[in-house]
Amino acid sequence: MKNHPEPLPSDNSSVDLDAEFRTSNIKEVLDKLDLELIGLKPVKTRIRETAALLLVDRVRKKLDLTAGAPSLHMSFTGNPGTGKTTVALRMSEILHRLGYVREGHLVSVTRDDLVGQYIGHTAPKTKEVLKKAMGGVLFIDEAYYLYKPENERDYGAESIEILLQTMENNREDLVVILAGYKDRMEKFFRSNPGMRSRIAHHIDFPDYSADELVAIAKLMLAAQNYRFSPEGEKAFGEYIRLRMKMDHFANARSVRNALDRARLRQANRLFEGARKNLSRIDLMTIEAEDIRASRVFKEGAVDLDGDEGANELLSAS
């Protein structure tokens, strides 16, 4: 006689998924992400999908439908200023609210925080960072700089080995997010298959369009009680389209730097102007002349040396 598997007992127990979603308070975080970041629809979709996976996983546990702890380590790829750090921060909040990390804090580091300069220096540095990040999320920006095979005296490999062990052994107490340029991160993963095997979620952050960058600029100004005049907004749109064609453009980061310079020019215009009795509107408004004074509008400015964030504070861009 053939042995037939015992039929599973019928189970009519259920869980109200909508109620679980409400009590988790992750909607608040997802809404905050929508408000904070213009565009980035593919990124927001992936974050919502990940949040849904974790919510359903938590609900399954309540019905004894265990499937093992999900792998939550991530890779964020994209150019500078595309919102990777902000998304990492919101991801840490989602993980905390769903109970996947104890504290939900974000520890953001680079190679210099992890790798030492002499024998015996790297291990304690890396372990100290991991200790601070336990119970939360460790965000490693420009993670590919950890690996420098061309330098025989480099200690990045030691840091990577410690990270790999911790990512595997502390999966329920730490989430690691690696970030950087897409092409360099792909090369890093090819050179470090152990790291690739531990990263379950790969999210690519696209560059912003010119219209999106203008919208970001308006949000940044509003947060500081500034605004564009209609002509000022038009001038900034022209500025962005020119700046995007130049080297070292860094999306929202370059927008922030440009606005810092515009505020300096506005202040100087008001100070040097004939009118000293200024209204609230005068003090809030960025005019076209505050934007068009940028050297980006000058012929031959396409050879800007470095990102405006680096040089704009030294010279009127």
Res. 246: pLDDT tops 80: yes
What strand order describes the sheet that includes 137-141? 106-109, 137-141, 175-180, 74-78, 201-205
Whose CA is closest to 76, among 150, 184, 159, 153? 184
Whole-number pLDDT of residue 315: 37
pTM to 2 decimal places = 0.83
**What are the pLDDT digits (tens) for 130-150?**
999 999 999 999 999 998 877
Average pLDDT of the chain is: 88
Rounded CA separation 47/53 (Å): 10
Whole-number pLDDT of residue 2: 52
Whole-number pLDDT of residue 172: 85
**What are the pLDDT digits (tens) for 59-72?**
888 888 877 777 89
pLDDT above 70 as % of the chain = 89
Q: Where are the alpha helices (DSSP H) in the chain?
A: 17-24, 26-36, 41-62, 84-97, 111-114, 122-133, 156-169, 182-191, 193-198, 210-223, 230-243, 251-272, 280-284, 288-292, 308-311
Whose CA is closest to 154, among 127, 125, 115, 190? 115
CB-CB contact of 107 with 130 (8 Å): no
Backbone torsions φ then ψ of 41, nearest 5 degrees: -55, -45
Question: Which stretch of 14-28, 45-59, 202-216, 289-303 has the lowest confidence by average pLDDT?
Answer: 289-303
Query: Averaged over 113-142, what is the pLDDT?
Result: 93
Domain 17-205 sits in CATH at 3.40.50.300
Tell me if residue 150 falls in helix, strand or coil.
Answer: coil
Res. 309: pLDDT tops 50: no
Res. 6: pLDDT tops 70: no
Radius of gyration of the chain (CA): 24
CATH fold, domain 210-311, is Helicase, Ruva Protein; domain 3 (1.10.8)
Question: Which stretch of 5-14, 63-72, 251-260 has the lowest confidence by average pLDDT?
Answer: 5-14
Could you state, in order of their start, the residue ranges of all structural domains in the chain?
A: 17-205, 210-311
Query: Averaged over 156-179, what is the pLDDT?
Result: 93
CB-CB contact of 228 with 238 (8 Å): no
Res. 164: pLDDT tops 60: yes
Using a 10 angstrom Cβ sphere, with 0-12 exposed, 13-18 middle and 19 or more buried, the burial of residue 263 is middle
